[in-house]
Amino acid sequence: MNLNPTTNHSRLFSPAVLGTVSLKNRIVMAPLTRSRAADGNVPHELNARYYAQRASAGLIISEATQISPQGQGYPKTPGIYSHAQISGWRSVTNAVHDQGGKIFLQLWHVGRVSHPSTQENGNLPVAPSAIKPVGEIYTEQGMQPFVTPRALEISELPELIADFRQAAVNAKEAGFDGVEIHAANGYLIDQFLRDGTNQRDDAYGGSVENRARLLREVTEAVLTVWEPGRVGVRLSPVNPFNDMADSNPQVTFEAITEQLNAYGLAYLHVVEDRETNFDFQKLRHIFNGAYMANGGYERNSAIIAIDTDRADFIAFGKLFIANPDLPKRLRLGAEFNVPREASFYAGGPDGYDDYPSLDMPDADTN
């Protein structure tokens, strides 16, 4: 095995099968909220162009996409619950497929990470428990303090699960190649998983088995629409984003990973923080499907992770924002464009579809 990270012959660049989907490489575009949807939270031509530019990824995972109006947390994020949104996403999937790419939709409900100004009729955001996050959230009126959410009644959960299922149906209608269930980064399902945000005393709280019940039931609902080989789950065991914590994340997420094995899913997408003492390789070895690693990877670390079998796929975030031809740059060892962070959520084409691609020929085609 050649572990020299200067080589362009790494398995990172080789074709692979993810679940039942054939990919041209093991490089994944991570889901990236960009706040560029049109009125009605509808994807449009600008989004189609942006995703098509990045279709050389083995797989694109779409930006997080709310399954319902209640699931929205930020302005101008796309949904997948209206006919217009389905049509808008179809223009995106068509553009990606025309460039030979594959794209999954990430299914999202933000839970407490929202604000009454974003919710229908000024309603409170919902959560497993009425625990206010520390900090502020961006709204159409600028930064606003988080509010205390309303705890979901157990009688509301079947409808919530039905919203995930309908979103999966709509994703299929929109032409996606699969879906990813967003259970990470402090959003609703993650709020149920971690005991810092879930203090329920019913069948959805207390033990890890109970806290993971919503994730299991959402997964089961999605699998009535999509075959397991086209479904993944994203987890973030130690990510503190959105004021998240768990008293014993290693035990919690090893148990959750074991539970997910029952479904034969295509992959487990894990947001890693390699500065912590969490053993991510335990999850990699527990999970029966593909392990997709995410978290600050660059060329050398990605090649080493793949070629030493620490991961099956590597998801890149900020590097894909600034480098639409990232797989080519990784393969050639070329310089990266620098991400312009001030424009990450700016709302227009600047800093979105205007990053340059390499002019030099691809070495693999000579």
DSSP 307-328: HTTS-SEEEESHHHHH-TTHHH
Examine the residue annotation and report whether 187 is marked as an active-site residue of this protein. yes
What would the pLDDT profile of 353-365 be if each residue is shown by its tens digit? 999 999 755 544 4
DSSP 77-90: --BSSSHHHHHHHH
What whole-number distance in Å separates Cα of residue 292 and Cα of residue 18? Answer: 10
Confidence of residue 188 (pLDDT cuts 50, 70, 90): very high
Mean pLDDT score, 326-330: 98
The whole-number pLDDT of residue 173 equals 98
CATH number assigned to the domain covering 11-316: 3.20.20.70
Kindly name the residue from 74, 81, 187, 355 that is annotated as catalytic.
187
Residue 320 pLDDT > 60: yes
DSSP 153: P
Confidence of residue 9 (pLDDT cuts 50, 70, 90): confident
Q: Which stretch of 3-12, 185-194, 301-310 has the lowest confidence by average pLDDT?
A: 3-12
Count CB neighbours of 190 within 10 A.
27
What whole-number distance in Å separates Cα of residue 209 and Cα of residue 255? Answer: 8
What would the pLDDT profile of 68-84 be if each residue is shown by its tens digit? 999 999 999 999 999 99
What would the pLDDT profile of 40-63 be if each residue is shown by its tens digit? 999 999 999 999 999 999 999 999
Q: What are the residues whose beta carbons fall under 8 Å from the beta carbon of 341, sequence distance 6 or more?
A: none
Domain-wise residue ranges, the chain: 11-316
Count CB neighbours of 282 within 10 A.
13
In the numeric block, the tokens 């205390």 are attached to 148
Residue 154 pLDDT > 60: yes
The whole-number pLDDT of residue 360 equals 54
What whole-number distance in Å separates Cα of residue 74 and Cα of residue 354? Answer: 23
Query: β-strand 136-139 against 142-145: which pairing, if any?
Result: antiparallel
What would the pLDDT profile of 256-275 be if each residue is shown by its tens digit? 999 999 999 999 999 999 89
What would the pLDDT profile of 71-118 be if each residue is shown by its tens digit? 999 999 999 999 999 999 999 999 999 999 999 999 999 999 999 999
Average pLDDT along the chain: 95
Q: What are the residues whose beta carbons fall under 8 Å from the beta carbon of 45, sequence distance 6 or more?
A: 91
What whole-number distance in Å separates Cα of residue 292 and Cα of residue 28? Answer: 9
DSSP 191-228: HHHSTTT----STTSSSHHHHTHHHHHHHHHHTTTS-G
Question: Which comes out higher in pLDDT, residue 6 or 90?
Answer: 90
The whole-number pLDDT of residue 363 equals 47
